[in-house]
Amino acid sequence: MAFDLESLAEATSGAIGALVSTTILYPLDTCKSKYQAEVRAHHQQKYRNISDVLWEAISTGQVLSLWQGLGTKNLQSFISQFIYFYGYSFFKRLYLQKSGSKTIGTKANLIVAAAAGACTVIITQPLDTASSRMQTSEFGKSKGLWKTLSEGSWHEAFDGLGISLLLTSNPSIQYTSFDQLKQRLLKRQLKEKTGTEPSPVALSAFSAFVLGAVSKCIATFLTYPAIRCKVMIQAAEYDDDDDDDDDETKTAQLKHQKTASGVLYSIWRREGLLGFYKGLEAQILKTVLSSALLLMIKEKISKTTWVLMLALRRYLFMTLTRLKSA
């Protein structure tokens, strides 16, 4: 019972952390996604930098549209982080129980994190696709979740699933790095407390923020080309610079654009090698802040969540005991 309860506490605190960080950084995420989704030759670009997206929203009086799709994104973020943290905690404890080890190595940690990430992606992919389409829609023209998904087939709801599975390596690297750095830091803190009364040691908010930022930075850089490909595949519209093409040609291009090879070719043809890293600065800023905030919030509320879970278990146990004795 304690095994599952601890996994549940980890999942709940992680999901709450994701919800708060997603809400705070959502306007930045919208600007980033719209900037990444555009693929045009340099002299025809609508957005030359991410600030152009923000200025468009302000100049057209659509500032509130920077939050278009927030509800869907929060739902997707909460569910995905809950599943991920629960799966990660569950598989990690299962591995330690079966192996008889007290700690988990880096390789095993990567496998556990990847397995948890793959389960998360498969379950939440339709929500991820819908939120991307809503974010990349024209300002003021975003549709609701059900209408966004119902306009296409279920196959289209899973656009970019292959790349999303590939990108499970990103959080795997991040959380493994964070976990290893955290263990080293806590061991150092325990050594400094030698001679004092034993007490639980937890990371400070600042330490969790810094470790989260560092662990995410390298993972984002290594996987960024795949990140941009996924955004383009899931984007609401095909932003093409060939305005003279007829409808049949554009339809064929759109179908081609929905494949990884089509996206890679479009980036290479219109933007060159550097196009694969277009928007990298905004991606790093958003993901580093998001993951750092998530882990910081999770660290600070995990103890409270654990206490509440124990109280709930005790209440349920006492209730069942009374019912049996009645």
Spatial contact of 114 and 216, defined as CB atoms under 8 Å apart: no
pLDDT score of 236 = 60
pLDDT score of 293 = 80
Spatial contact of 236 and 133, defined as CB atoms under 8 Å apart: yes
| Residue of 136, 166, 138, 155 whose CA lies nearest to 72 | 136
Most confidently modeled range among 48-57, 167-176, 299-308: 48-57
Packing angle of the helix pair 280-325, 2-24 (nearest 10 deg): 140
> What average pLDDT does the structure give for the chain?
79
Spatial contact of 60 and 289, defined as CB atoms under 8 Å apart: no
What is the C-alpha separation between 282 and 154, in angstroms, rounded?
Answer: 31
What are the DSSP calls for 114-145, one per residue?
Answer: HHHHHHHHHHHHHHHHHHHHHHHSPTT----H
pLDDT score of 138 = 85
Most confidently modeled range among 66-80, 191-205, 214-228, 308-322: 66-80
What is the C-alpha separation between 229 and 212, in angstroms, rounded?
Answer: 25
What is the C-alpha separation between 140 and 167, in angstroms, rounded?
Answer: 30
What is the C-alpha separation between 42 and 23, in angstroms, rounded?
Answer: 32
End-to-end CA distance of the chain: 25
What is the C-alpha separation between 317 and 320, in angstroms, rounded?
Answer: 5
Sorted by where each starts, the structural domains of the chain and their CATH numbers stand as 1-187+203-236+249-299 (1.50.40.10)
pLDDT score of 55 = 92
What's the average model confidence in pLDDT over 26-33? 91
pLDDT score of 3 = 45
- pLDDT-above-70 percentage for the chain: 84
pLDDT band at 241 (very low <50, low <70, confident <90, very high): low
pLDDT band at 326 (very low <50, low <70, confident <90, very high): low
pLDDT tens profile 58-98? 998 888 889 988 999 889 888 887 888 788 888 888 888 88
What is the C-alpha separation between 54 and 301, in angstroms, rounded?
Answer: 33
pLDDT score of 287 = 75
pLDDT tens profile 114-167? 888 888 999 999 999 888 888 888 887 888 788 877 777 777 888 888 898 988
pLDDT score of 257 = 57
Phi then psi for residue 184, to 5 deg, are -65, -40
